[in-house]
Amino acid sequence: MSVLKITGENFENEVVNSDKPVILDFYADWCGPCKMMSPIIDQIADELGDSVKVGKVNSDENMDLAEKFGIMSIPTIIIFKGGNVSKTFIGVTPKSEIIDAIK
């Protein structure tokens, strides 16, 4: 499954109204740790397939979303269930921890 690009325009539809859990990766192109997290997020999307939605939010391009969720450092991974924040991870996070938080 491909990773969605989440923006202020599609956030409501793709995240809040999702019937599946959503993993969102808040990142920036210049961020070294974000580059380390990116392949992990891609692997999670491939492994979990249709059971979950996986998206990336460019914090520089979507400051409104970053502010809404109090993103102070990146990467920040937020898991949403039923449109609400279920769990937040800050910094490079092992794939297993993210997958465990979805279950």
Residues annotated as catalytic are 31, 34
Q: Is the pLDDT of residue 1 over 70?
A: no
pTM, 2 dp: 0.94
Q: Where are the domains of the chain?
A: 4-102
Asked if residue 23 lies in contact with residue 74, where contact means CB atoms within 8 angstroms, the answer is: no
Query: 4-102 falls under which CATH superfamily?
Result: Glutaredoxin (3.40.30.10)
Q: What is the pLDDT of residue 103?
A: 82
Distance, in Å, from the CA atom of 56 to the CA atom of 59, rounded to the nearest integer, reads: 9
The mean pLDDT of the chain is 95
Query: Would you call 53 exposed, middle or buried from its count of C-beta atoms within 10 A (0-12, 13-18, 19+)?
Result: buried
Q: What is the pLDDT of residue 15?
A: 96
pLDDT confidence of 2, banded at 50, 70, 90? Answer: confident
Q: What is the pLDDT of residue 73?
A: 95
26 phi/psi in degrees, rounded to 5:
-90, 125
Place of tokens 């502010």: 67
